[in-house]
Amino acid sequence: MLRVLASRTIQSLVLLLLVSVVAFALLRLTPGDPGALLYGPNASPQELAQVRERWGLDGPLALQYLRWLGNAASGDLGRSYADGRPVLAVIGERMPATLLLAGSALMLATLLGVVGGTVAATHLHSLADRLITLGATALYSIPSFWLGLLLIAIFSLHLGWLPSGGMRDSLGPTSCSDMLRHLLLPALALGLRDAGRFARVCRASVLEELGQQYVQTAAAKGLGTVAISTRHVLRNALLPFLTLLGMSLPGLLGGSVVVETVFAWPGMGRLAIESALQRNYPVIMGEVLIVAALALLGNLLADLSYGLADPRARYG
């Protein structure tokens, strides 16, 4: 297990380095000058040259990257071009909101996917199976931004049950119930697509386990369908699901960019859009590095948990 952990950690660090190289190069090659953020679009060439020299943007691209990489390795991601604050402080203000949204969406997708997939598999070719399979396919095919707009139109504009954006009401003290009301719609918009994918994978995995000989042995001993499904089938069927959970984390973090923009959620996704419009290179690079690290950490934990849950994978 320690050898696997060391191997996965080295692979994750190499991938993180490659992600930083690609992101840094793409940002620097994108049209636009961050000097316009300070002096405006009508800035003179002399003013832009002063800004580029002050921010270290006048040197060769490779030298700029090596300087940034050395600072990042020591925990310094630079300062924001917008207000001069450390990048870690700027991102740290937004990270809890994104983690709350992504975590809620993941829990919602897991619950709906496991329950829906298990019910569909244990009631094969029934009306419930057809409805769940159709609904899962539809949810997986709907883009998150369109689903978010649809939820706003129904539950905010038409019914008036839930707020259409933000993380809390602007007036009055913040309460847990108020935050939950604001969280529900963006969590649904972000998590329902993965719920459809999870339900399809869980259904296929449960169906495969139901055809195993141990299920027939358990049924011959007099165990009911519910007992067989919960005690034996579901436990084995969820093993591939662990890897799927780790693979879904990058999609959730990436999808939060669109969902946070639609719902005006004050998280890292919305900060990424604002920073991109401002050509705020340090903040964008900090976000890319942190999101990539979180995604790789999720995949690493999924691999390790799979090995712990299934000794065959560990020995292999």
Print pLDDT tens along the chain (316 aa). 677 677 778 888 888 889 889 988 888 777 766 666 666 666 677 767 777 777 777 778 888 888 888 888 888 888 888 788 899 999 988 889 888 998 899 899 989 988 898 888 888 888 988 999 999 988 888 888 888 889 999 998 888 888 888 877 766 566 778 888 888 999 999 889 889 888 988 888 888 877 777 777 777 777 776 777 777 777 777 777 777 777 777 777 777 888 888 888 888 888 888 888 888 888 989 988 888 888 888 777 777 776 665 555 554 5
Exposure class string for 38-74: b at 16+ Cβ within 10 A, else e: eeeeebeeeebebbeeebebeeeeeebbeebeeebee
Phi, psi of 265 (to 5 degrees): -85, 125
Q: Are 163 and 202 in contact (CB under 8 A)?
A: no
Give the distance, in angstroms, between the CA of residue 253 and the centroid of all CA atoms in the same chain.
Answer: 2
Tokens 């919305």 label which residue?
270
DSSP, collapsed to helix, strand or coil, labels residue 79 as strand
Instruction: Say whether domain 93-315 belongs to CATH 3.40.50.10490.
Output: no
Q: Are 250 and 219 in contact (CB under 8 A)?
A: no
DSSP, collapsed to helix, strand or coil, labels residue 174 as coil
Residue 110: which residues within 8 A CB-CB, separation 6 or more? Answer: 198, 245
What pLDDT is stored for residue 143 in this prediction? Answer: 85
For residue 189, CA distances in Å to 36, 92, 96, 179 come to: 35, 24, 19, 16
The C-alpha torsion from 91 through 97 and 102 to 106, rounded to 10°, is 140
Q: Are 286 and 78 in contact (CB under 8 A)?
A: yes
pTM here is: 0.81
Q: What is the DSSP string of 111-170?
A: HHHHHHHHHHHHTTTSHHHHHHHHHHHHHHHS-HHHHHHHHIIIIIIIS--S-SSSSS-S
> To the nearest whole percent, how much of the chain has pLDDT over 90?
6
Classify the phi-psi angles of 309: left when phi > 0, otherwise alpha if psi is within -120 to 50, otherwise beta.
alpha
Six-digit token string for 250: 């990058």
Q: How far apart are CA 154 and CA 188, in angstroms?
A: 13
Tokens 């919602």 label which residue?
108
Which pLDDT tens digit goes with each residue over 39-68?
Answer: 666 667 776 777 777 777 777 888 888 888
Q: Are 91 and 290 in contact (CB under 8 A)?
A: yes
What pLDDT is stored for residue 134 in this prediction? Answer: 92
**Smallest Cα–Cα separation from 209: which of 244, 235, 227?**
235
Q: How far apart are CA 239 and CA 228, in angstroms?
A: 16
Domain ranges of the chain: 20-73, 93-315
**Smallest Cα–Cα separation from 163: which of 269, 262, 271, 273?**
262
For residue 264, CA distances in Å to 83, 98, 166, 269, 274 come to: 21, 12, 5, 10, 12
What pLDDT is stored for residue 315 in this prediction? Answer: 47
